[in-house]
Every structure is written in structure tokens, then in C-alpha cells.
Structure 1
């Protein structure tokens, strides 16, 4: 499967290529790209289809994912569920991929925002870097510890819900928000050990007080569906709709449940 996929990448039509920094246009990607540009840093993308991408690399659009469902789901084409790290290793042969080792060599901090599936995919490669390069890594994201080797856990920079008061958002974009905040904290600081960097974060968070939690009511899926239909008619994204549900309707709803209902309503 990997050989067939890499063959397709080799034959991708040049006329359909676009810059990686433009192709990945989600909120989290845009936020990190803008932070990198503002600080004069290079911007890279961890791509499950193409490998580690320099934002300035021209690439083809594609549809391949490690998610279990969807038309581009890799697992539906295999007789077994591959380890995400196995697939990532195969992408070393991608004609568009950059070398992780070269990315880290000789730099100060390398900031990496990850969700749990992507931490599972790239964690082994990060752990196998030479110690001098691993020491440059600062990994940001929620609930990543179980998905990373013990060799990387000291590189984790911890944030909590006080980040929401500094840069509002949801758990879904928590890694990018943490990276954006951390990057500005250390932008003018020489490379230090992870404990010193964590201390900067702890000091910044200590000045923030969490608001008293609002008392929100729980409702059935049928009631939620009425609100979802209204939000869709207003043209709201699922993220903004959930904010409105909580702040205006004072209804409690877990993010995963709300997104499921939103996707079902969209058809």
C-alpha cells in the first residue's frame, strides 16, 4: 500500500500543486503559520499523506487519512490496522517530505503542536532523534503523555484551562493555541531546559483566574437538534455554534456529542 501511494505521489501532475502553507487552511494551521511568519520562523506541517512538509513546498492536493472512516481512510484498504508509526516511517520516501533530523539540527527550540492521533504517529520518530536534537523539542497539546515515549515526556509543555482566558477556543484547537502563546513567551529567550520553559508558562498562567463555571442544563439529543438546525441556518461553524449554545442558551453539551449531531444534521 505504501509503495502504491508513493508511486502516485511521484506521478502527481505539477499543474495541480499548491504551497503546503496554503493547502492546509484550517484554523489551527492558520494560527501557527501566522505565528511563524510573525516571528520569522519556518513553518512545517505533519501530514499523514505526504510526510513532514516545509510550508514553502509545492504539493498536490490529496485524500488519505489515518482516521478509521471516510473515502480516504487508509485502514479500509488494508487487511489489518497498521500502527500509525509504521505508516509514518513509510512516508520517508515521499518526494515532498523534509528530514526531521535536518529540521532539528543546529536550531534553538523546535515547537510542535500535536493532537493525540498525530502524537501516536510521529512520537517514535521524535523519540529516535539524537539527544541533542530531542532537547530542542517543545511539544504542545492536551492529553499527549500516554501517546509519547518516556524519552519525550520532559519535552511536553503543560497548559490547563486558564489558556482559554488568554486565547479563547476549544480542546480541538488547544494545541495550536498553546503553541501560539508559548512561542511569544520564549521568542526572545535563549534556549533553556524544559523546566525553565515550563516555569515561564506557569508564571504566565498564575496571573489568570478561571471564571466561576456557569450552571448549564443538560438536554436530550432531540432538543439539541432544534438548536443545531438554527445554527446551521445562521451559517455558523460547529465550533462557533457550540459557543453560542453554551453562552446564550446555557445548555451543557460535550464537544464530541455536539459535533456528531452537527455532522448528522448537515447530512
Structure 2
């Protein structure tokens, strides 16, 4: 159940093959939350539980599913630079993440985010996602009505211009000040969206009613105005060959995958995204 095992073709062909494999998967199914063991998802689960809110997963492989839905283990992403990026399975013309999202929901071409807001007319939907995943659901978000948009908040996207203009007020103005030590939410770019989610729910979770996107954005700005972004240490980025060499050395030293990444960054001073490192680690 890995994207790199799929044949190449047009987006609808690739999506059909993927759906067929999911339907035929004979391996034991597990809750979605068991497949996501990193800090980002753990923090999202803790935040949702603390707020008494439902937690859904924006999955490039399974669609929009509740965190406890049973699915076969899989590896498929729309994040570039990974072996299992589904966008690499095109034969000729590349397809986009949003085209993949639409094809994944064939034949109904459903729009799950719009459906969720329609089914829950009093709910606030807080969407914590990185830019590749926001790009994936951009057409779904573009289908929202004006009243639905007032109940949407997007955290983790630092540049609102990635979205159509009418959606931009829904993007909460988070930046590197979220890493101020006094907030206790320091982390990496990989878990930035989950950390912003935690902060935002802490700000507005106790409200009796849903305020406007502008009011919520003002509260975020006011909270961050008291914070300072830490000075970033510039690290050298390893090419693929050098990264593999470092991983072999760390494995021989008996390091675990997580501790090896920490050592690579902290002790050796190299830059490496978590997903890229973990993919390279598994490939060794």
C-alpha cells in the first residue's frame, strides 16, 4: 500500500488503481491515529480531546476521515520530495494535488469539507495543514458558501495568498513568534500547523459563540504581539548521498530513527526535514 508501487498514468487512472487496492487490501485494518505517531498528530489529538472536539484527518490516501476510522496501513503523500508522493505517478503531464483530491473522491466527486460544514451548521472547523495539503483541498474550500467560510479557520499556512481572496480572512496570522519559549510550543516547521492549532484552540476554545474571522485574527495578533521569534540557526542542507552516509553512521552507532534526526540537527548542525529523513532512513 505504497504510492511508489502504483503504475503511472492520468490522475483518474492512478486514483482508480489506488481505490481498488484499498478496497482489496487483506492486511489488518487499524485506526487512522495509529498510523500517525509523530509529535504533530499527538498534539492535534491532545488539543481535540481537551476541547471536546471531533478530530478528522486530511489524508491524501484515504480522504477526509475521522481519527478512529479503520484503514489499511499505507504510505501516500502529496508532499514533494518523497518517494511516495502521488504527484510523481503521472505518465506525461503532471497532475496537481487538488486534481488528485478530486479524483480520489470519484465517482461522486464529493467535497467533504463543504459537506462537514453543511451537516454541522453550528460548528467551527479549524483546519491545521501544511501548504501542500492546503493546495490539495483548495478546490474543496473554494466551493464553500459565504456563511460556511465564516466558520472556517486555517492555521499553519503562513502566506494567505496561496488561497482565493475570499478565503484569506480565514487564515490566522501565525508566524515564528509561536516559537517563543514562554509559550512552550517550540518545534519544527513540520509540526508548525499542529502547534498553531493548539495555541488557537487555547485562545478561542472557551467562547460561548463563534466570532468572526477578523475578530479571531485580531486575538491571534494580540497574543503574538507579546512574543519574540527566536534567532534561527542556519544549517547546511545535505544532498542525498551525504544524507545516506550520515544515516549509515548513525545506524551503526545504534541510534533510533528519532534520536538520529535530533543528533543530525543538534550535534552535526545539518538541516533536514523530518519526512525526508525518515524516508531516507527506511530506504537504507
Q: TM-score range by the shorter chain?
A: 0.7 to 0.9
- Report the CA distance between 1:75 and its aligned residue: 2.2
Residue of structure 2 equivalent to 1:202: 221
Residue of structure 1 equivalent to 2:71: 59
Give ranges in structure 2 of 5+ residues lacking alignment.
1-12
Q: Which of 48, 59, 71 lines up with 1:47 in the alignment?
A: 59
- Report the CA distance between 1:230 and its aligned residue: 7.5
Aligned 8 A contact 1:51 1:98 in 2: no
Alignment of 1:177 onto 2:200 = no
Alignment of 1:130 onto 2:142 = no
Aligned 8 A contact 1:44 1:55 in 2: yes
- Report the CA distance between 1:242 and its aligned residue: 5.6
Distance verdict in 2 for CA 1:228–1:20, change over 3 Å = closer
Residue of structure 2 equivalent to 1:3: 16
> Which residues of 2 match residues 13-92 of structure 1 at below 5 A?
13=26, 16-66=28-78, 67=80, 69-70=82-83, 73-92=86-105
User: 3-state SS of the aligned residue for 1:171?
Assistant: coil
> Which residues of 2 match residues 90-129 of structure 1 at below 5 A?
90-93=103-106, 99-105=112-118, 106-129=121-144
Residue of structure 1 equivalent to 2:210: 191
- CA-to-partner distance for each residue in 1:137-183, whole Å, 9 max, x for gaps? 10011434243222211100011222112201011211110011101
- Report the CA distance between 1:78 and its aligned residue: 2.8
- Report the CA distance between 1:120 and its aligned residue: 0.9
- CA-to-partner distance for each residue in 1:93-150, whole Å, 9 max, x for gaps? 499x993223213133211111111111111211211221121110011434243222
Distance verdict in 2 for CA 1:8–1:235, change over 3 Å = closer
Give ranges in structure 1 of 5+ residues lacking alignment.
none
Residue of structure 1 equivalent to 2:173: 158
- Report the CA distance between 1:208 and its aligned residue: 2.1
Aligned 8 A contact 1:45 1:53 in 2: yes
Whose RCO is larger (CA < 8 A, sep 6+)? 2
Aligned 8 A contact 1:109 1:137 in 2: yes
Note the aligned Cα RMSD (angstroms): 3.6
Whole-angstrom CA distance in 2 between matches of 1:206 and 1:100? 32
User: Aligned pairs, how many?
Assistant: 259
Q: Which of 239, 257, 266 lines up with 1:244 in the alignment?
A: 266
